[in-house]
Amino acid sequence: MAVAPKINALMMESDVNNIAIVRFEILRSKIAYDEFDNDDNHGEHTDDQNDENHGEHTDSLNTSEAQFDTQLEYDYYGESDLDTGHIDDVEGASVPEDSVDMSQATPSASQPEKPQKAYSFYNRYAKDYGFSVRLDQVKRFDDGVIRLRRFVCSRQGRRPKNQLTTEGRVYRHRPESRCGCKARLVVKFDGRTGFWVVEDFRDKHNHDPAEPCQTPFLRSHRTINDAQRSEILSLGSMGVRKHLIMRKFIAGSGSFAGVGFTRKDLYNMCSRERRRLIFHGDATTAIRIMAKRKKRDPEFFYEYDVDEKGRLKHMFWCDSQSRRDYQDYGDVLVFDSTYKMNKYKMPFVPFVGLNNHRRTTVFGCAILSSENEQTYVWLLKTFLKAMCQQKPKAVITDADAAMIGAIGEVFSGVSHRICSFHIEKIWRCIYLTSH
């Protein structure tokens, strides 16, 4: 049975002024896995017990490749491009005011928030030392209450071999940032004392630390606080563009590092907020967005149709620039409905053409609930309404029979051609079938 250390509480209660004390006190309070006493009276399972037999829940939070890549994609500099790590202690070195010291920690029996406090503590420690923290593993009692939590350096471990290739990947490949770093902090609930204790602490990194100017951009040290979030949403609701909102925060803090988050963090937060708002009311939210665009851009055009139950069936929209472009470059119109990459599997129909620089220009977009002739008739009539009844001279589409019929009815006298891609596709199918 291990002897409890003098300092067996992890939680920070006050600030400190010397990093050297941190390492000394943490090492003094270190308890190795194989020496830790699991014999308590709170029904805690030992680490070597079978999880299935004893009902212990172990949630591995090692980030998957897709999740890991998504996270890295949103880094301003990208943690994959940074070498984060540990710097040697220098006696008497100057330390930021928000540094932490294990010797100042005091025990507390308040359980639910302790893992969060542990993360906050270790993250502050990591910021001083120049590395980023990642949640790694959590173990729970039978009732779901957390009993053990492990925090690691963001460069801990290795990516699985099958995730190091580009074959079959959804996200673009990014450089490997993990290097097998062993630095970590493990905290555990001690059932005998009712306190959270340090079970394992390793402060040796196998890589160089991030420079002080890079540290604020590491993933775990970036956050948008409640006040900033409220201000961002308030400015966004007034129509202020996101890049201008970011400029405001940079000007207010005096530097990028002083903002506390990156431009991508801001965009991601706004995107999450938008998804939250439309989660239970996509159609209503879409119409509301169109109305707001119409208020900002009087020439913005949108029209929609609903079924007998009031549900959205079709919607068409185009902005003022698209309408002007059609007046100048609308001789040839191209559209198809083969793209259905949305959660409702509704066909998305873009109307496009070429400008005088031979660049693709968008004349309008639509979402449809079906692909029958009646639907296409509604769509083409709505398109002409938006374009002041100006018909194109030629139309290029796929070989859809319903679309061909609608074009003959609405675009009478207009030259209609089938896209060569679809012709080749049809002939390829015929050839393979016959052979």
Same domain, 130 and 27: yes
Strand partners, 316: 303, 366
Q: Is residue 1 part of a domain?
A: no
Taking all residues of the chain, what is their mean pLDDT, rounded to a whole number? Answer: 73
Say whether both 295 and 374 belong to one domain: yes
- Residue 273 has a CB neighbour count (10 Å cut-off) of 14
360-367: strand order across its sheet: 301-306, 312-318, 360-367, 348-354, 332-335, 394-397, 415-418
Euclidean distance between CA atoms 414 and 395, whole angstroms: 7
Q: Are residues 165 and 249 in the same domain?
A: no
Give the alpha-carbon dihedral of 264, 267, 270, 274, to 10 degrees: -120
Look at the chain and report how many structural domains it folds into: 3
CB 381 within 8 A of CB 410: yes
Look at residues 262, 278, 294 and tell me which one is the last residue of a structural domain.
278
**pLDDT-based confidence at 343, cuts 50/70/90?**
low
Closest CA to 68 of 176, 227, 214, 182: 176
The larger pLDDT score, comparing residue 131 to residue 10, is at 131
pLDDT tens digits, one per residue of 92-137: 333 334 444 433 433 333 344 578 888 888 888 888 888 989 888 8
Radius of gyration of the chain (CA): 30
59 CB-contact burial (10 Å; exposed 0-12 / middle 13-18 / buried 19+): exposed
- 307 and 336 housed in the same domain: yes
Domain annotation covers residue 8: no
- Residues 209, 231: one domain? no
Query: Is residue 179 domain-shared with residue 37, that is, in the same domain?
Result: yes
What would the pLDDT profile of 141-159 be if each residue is shown by its tens digit?
A: 888 888 898 999 988 888 7
Does the pLDDT at position 220 exceed 80? yes
- Do 152 and 238 fall within a single domain? no
Using pLDDT thresholds of 50, 70 and 90, give the confidence band for residue 33: very low
Residue at a domain's end among 183, 213, 243? 213
Residue 408 lies in a domain: yes
Is 179 a domain residue? yes
Residue 10: inside a domain, yes or no? no
Structure tokens given for 348 = 């998305």
In a domain, 400, yes or no: yes
Q: Do 154 and 102 share a structural domain? A: yes
Range of the domain at 236: 226-278
The answer to the question of residue 13 being in a domain is no
Contact yes or no for 196/12 (Cβ under 8 A): no
Same domain, 38 and 125: yes
What is the domain-level CATH number for residue 359? 3.30.420
Same domain? For 103 and 131 the reply is yes
Confidence class for position 340, pLDDT limits 50, 70, 90: low
Structure token digits, residue 428:
């390829």
- Model confidence at 166, pLDDT cuts 50, 70, 90, reads low
Q: Is residue 122 part of a domain?
A: yes
- Give the pLDDT confidence score for residue 137 in this predicted structure: 83
* DSSP characters over 308-372: TTS-EEEEEEE-HHHHHHHHHHTTEEEE---B--STT---EEEEEEE-TTS-EEEEEEEE-S--S
Q: Are residues 35 and 162 in the same domain?
A: yes
Q: Could you tell me the pLDDT band of residue 76, with boundaries at 50, 70 and 90?
A: very low
Report pLDDT for 139: 87
140 and 230 within one domain: no
